[in-house]
């Protein structure tokens, strides 16, 4: 098999180096069509290779946490979950007894395998099949799949979706077959990634009960004049105990659209939940509030972007607004070694103060390229495991998501963590696969964007050059730390003024009092 792929790559090099200049128009058009068929066939074969990796758990040898992570990071597939859905429906899976089962969508699988259907066609067909009510006779569902796969050989993916609407209407003309199982299967709520303006798209499908509850809440909290962030006199919360004249005057001043009022109502609801203790006292050792890490320079200059423990980027204006209602935690780092001031603990679990330290230092999971934010990470005994005599000291800990924390060990397919002692990442723990050379330690910069940007800046003046021999791609050391809580504004200001620039990270936790 390896020789076949080597021969294929060589053939692709020859095709890429060739030219169709000497070919006639009909041949050129035919070559383009044949190329697309070959690409589609390769998609089908690629699904089989992914299934091979899944069957053997071979993603572990690359250090990936799971198959989805492997598809995303190693195969660099843009939509890994959709690709894995295609694998599950279009490939022959093993039964509990070890035998091979036919594909769930056999005709679609055949169309992809012979190159007449593309990945987009398969996605459109699987989207339609996912909406077929569970109560529909399996034989009717099979007929629908056959019809869709057959028509897809001449239709576009968009036309397949339109045809699917008609097929669904035929299978359940009165909507009587849709039941609680279908509604439960399709409920979802997704928070999209932040865009260039740090805005996010919220998309979802609500079941009837959730929709009814949401409408009740919006009727009260999103009424005209309510919870208006642009109006200091706007009533907050619901309007049960609010003076009618005050609400009427606020409504007259309210120029927001219905959608904007709904957004502001959701903000008020979430803030009420966080401030009212509905989230409990702790999540992974941290208070379940907005926790923000910024540098002292950003705070002084009122510019830049801060990041939260859950992985969100916040503009400095929002940080200062939140800071007006928060308790300050000051994280101070050694300006030369990049290590946190010592904060030890004779227990296995890290204290809240230590977790604040590690959030300020790492921002999220410390494993290279892992996107897991700090709020969803565990605390890893990075120097030596607790069971092997490791200590819970701030300078010997590092954040790690659950899969990466469990991936550390002595086996060839596991990872090792070691402290980086030179270069701009000194003081942090780097990660390397056990099969990599000992000097190949990698730090994670996905949670500290300013460090990532500094890698590509032009160093002038007193700026230190990048250390190319540090065994890591990082640049600026986030300071290590000690936490000082309940400190008065003036005392904090005097303390900050005595600390060199870039030697401080300030962490704000939601609703307890603050230094702005």
pLDDT in tens, 61-75: 888 888 998 999 899
Q: Return the pLDDT at 163.
A: 93
pTM higher than the cut 0.75: no
d(CA 407, CA 384): 14
Q: Order of strands across the sheet with 313-315?
A: 313-315, 305-308, 291-295, 504-509, 327-332, 483-484
What is the rounded (10 degree) CA torsion for 450, 456, 457, 460?
A: 130
| pLDDT averaged over every residue in the chain | 79
Per-residue pLDDT at 60 exceeds 60: yes
Alpha-carbon separation of residue 46 from 70, 78, 248, 296 (angstroms): 14, 14, 63, 49
DSSP character string of 231-276 = -TTS--S-STTS-HHHHHHHHHH----HHHHHHHHHHHHHHHHHHT
Per-residue pLDDT at 129 exceeds 80: yes
d(CA 317, CA 197): 13
Q: Which two tokens stand for residue 491?
A: 């005392």
Q: Return the pLDDT at 186.
A: 85
Please count the other Cβ atoms lying within 10 Å of the Cβ belonging to residue 334: 17
Per-residue pLDDT at 127 exceeds 90: yes
Q: Return the pLDDT at 469.
A: 42
d(CA 47, CA 42): 9
Question: Residue 221: which region, alpha, beta or left (left: phi > 0; alpha: psi -120 to 50)?
Answer: alpha
Q: Return the pLDDT at 494.
A: 45
Per-residue pLDDT at 504 exceeds 70: no
Q: Return the pLDDT at 288.
A: 64
Among residues 106, 154, 91, 163, the alpha carbon closest in space to that of 131 is found at 163
Q: Return the pLDDT at 162.
A: 92
Among residues 261, 242, 262, the alpha carbon closest in space to that of 253 is found at 261
| Share above pLDDT 70 across residues of the chain, in percent, rounded to a whole number | 76
Q: Return the pLDDT at 385.
A: 80
Per mean pLDDT, which of 59-68, 99-108, 329-338, 467-476 is the most reliable? 99-108
Give the residue-averaged pLDDT of 112-137: 94
Per-residue pLDDT at 1 exceeds 60: yes
pLDDT band at 54 (very low <50, low <70, confident <90, very high): very high
Helices 258-275 and 208-221, axial angle in degrees (round to 10) = 100
Among residues 213, 198, 126, 133, the alpha carbon closest in space to that of 161 is found at 126
Q: Higher-confidence residue: 220 or 451?
A: 220
Say which range, 86-95, 99-108, 205-214, 390-399, has the weakest mean pLDDT. 390-399
Give the residue-averaged pLDDT of 395-406: 88
DSSP structural state of residue 101:
P
2: exposed, middle or buried (C-beta count within 10 Å: 0-12, 13-18, 19+)? exposed
Alpha-carbon separation of residue 99 from 46, 94, 96, 113 (angstroms): 22, 5, 8, 21
Per-residue pLDDT at 207 exceeds 60: yes
The per-residue pLDDT for range 8-34, each reduced to its tens digit, is 999 999 999 999 999 999 999 999 999
Give the residue-averaged pLDDT of 322-339: 51
Q: Return the pLDDT at 465.
A: 44
Q: Return the pLDDT at 52.
A: 94
The per-residue pLDDT for range 416-473, each reduced to its tens digit, is 999 988 877 888 899 988 888 888 888 888 887 666 666 655 444 444 444 444 444 4
* DSSP-derived 3-state class of residue 152: coil
Q: Return the pLDDT at 265.
A: 92
Q: Return the pLDDT at 228.
A: 92
Question: Residue 506: which region, alpha, beta or left (left: phi > 0; alpha: psi -120 to 50)?
Answer: beta
Backbone angles phi, psi at 109, to 5 degrees: -60, -40
* DSSP-derived 3-state class of residue 405: helix
The per-residue pLDDT for range 223-267, each reduced to its tens digit, is 899 999 888 888 887 556 777 888 888 999 999 999 999 999 999
d(CA 439, CA 420): 10
Give the residue-averaged pLDDT of 287-313: 73
* DSSP-derived 3-state class of residue 298: helix
d(CA 108, CA 126): 9
pLDDT band at 281 (very low <50, low <70, confident <90, very high): low
* DSSP-derived 3-state class of residue 330: strand
Q: Higher-confidence residue: 500 or 434?
A: 434
The per-residue pLDDT for range 338-382, each reduced to its tens digit, is 444 444 444 556 677 777 778 878 888 999 888 888 888 888 888
Q: Higher-confidence residue: 392 or 229?
A: 229
Per-residue pLDDT at 387 exceeds 80: no
């Amino acid at each position: 098999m390896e020789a076949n792929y080597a021969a294929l790559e060589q053939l692709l090099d020859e095709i890429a180096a060739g030219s169709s200049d000497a070919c006639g128009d009909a041949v050129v058009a035919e070559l383009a069509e044949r190329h697309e068929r070959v690409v589609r066939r390769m998609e089908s074969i690629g699904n089989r290779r992914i299934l091979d990796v899944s069957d053997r758990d071979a993603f572990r040898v690359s250090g990936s946490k799971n198959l989805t992570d492997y598809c995303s990071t190693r195969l660099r597939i843009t939509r890994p979950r959709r690709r894995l859905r295609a694998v599950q429906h279009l490939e022959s899976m093993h039964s509990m007894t070890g035998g091979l089962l036919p594909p769930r969508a056999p005709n679609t699988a055949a169309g992809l395998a012979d190159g007449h259907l593309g990945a987009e066609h398969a996605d459109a067909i699987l989207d339609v099949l996912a909406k077929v009510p569970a109560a529909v006779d399996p034989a009717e569902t099979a007929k629908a799949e056959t019809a869709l796969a057959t028509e897809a050989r001449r239709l576009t993916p968009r036309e397949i979706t339109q045809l699917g609407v008609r097929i669904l209407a035929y299978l359940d003309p009165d909507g009587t077959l849709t039941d609680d199982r279908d509604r439960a299967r399709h409920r979802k709520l997704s928070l999209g990634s932040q865009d260039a303006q740090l805005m996010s798209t919220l998309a979802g499908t609500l079941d009837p009960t959730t929709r009814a509850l949401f409408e009740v809440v919006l009727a009260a909290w999103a009424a005209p004049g309510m919870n208006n962030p642009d109006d200091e006199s706007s009533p907050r919360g619901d309007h049960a105990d609010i003076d009618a004249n005050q609400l009427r005057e606020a409504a007259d001043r309210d120029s927001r659209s219905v959608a904007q009022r709904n957004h502001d109502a959701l903000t008020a609801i979430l803030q009420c939940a966080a401030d009212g203790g509905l989230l409990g006292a702790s999540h992974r050792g941290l208070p379940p509030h907005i926790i923000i890490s910024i540098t002292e320079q950003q705070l002084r200059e009122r510019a830049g972007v801060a990041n939260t423990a859950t992985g969100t980027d916040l503009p400095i204006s929002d940080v200062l607004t939140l800071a007006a209602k928060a308790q300050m935690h000051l994280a101070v780092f050694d300006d030369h070694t990049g290590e946190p001031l010592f904060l030890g603990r004779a227990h296995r679990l890290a204290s809240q103060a230590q977790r604040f330290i590690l959030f300020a230092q790492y921002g999220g999971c410390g494993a290279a390229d892992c996107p897991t934010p700090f709020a969803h990470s565990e605390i890893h005994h990075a120097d030596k495991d607790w069971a092997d005599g490791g200590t819970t000291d701030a300078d010997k800990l590092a954040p790690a998501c659950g899969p990466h924390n469990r991936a550390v060990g002595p086996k060839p397919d596991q990872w090792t963590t070691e402290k980086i002692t030179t270069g701009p990442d000194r003081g942090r723990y780097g990660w390397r696969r056990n099969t990599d050379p000992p000097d190949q330690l990698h730090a994670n910069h996905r949670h500290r964007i300013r460090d990532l940007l500094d890698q590509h800046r032009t160093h002038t003046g007193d700026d230190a050059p990048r250390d190319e021999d540090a065994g890591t791609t990082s640049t600026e050391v986030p300071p290590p730390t000690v936490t000082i809580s309940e400190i008065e504004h003036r005392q904090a200001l005097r303390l900050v003024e005595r600390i060199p620039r870039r030697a401080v990270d300030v962490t704000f936790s939601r609703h307890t009092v603050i230094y702005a």
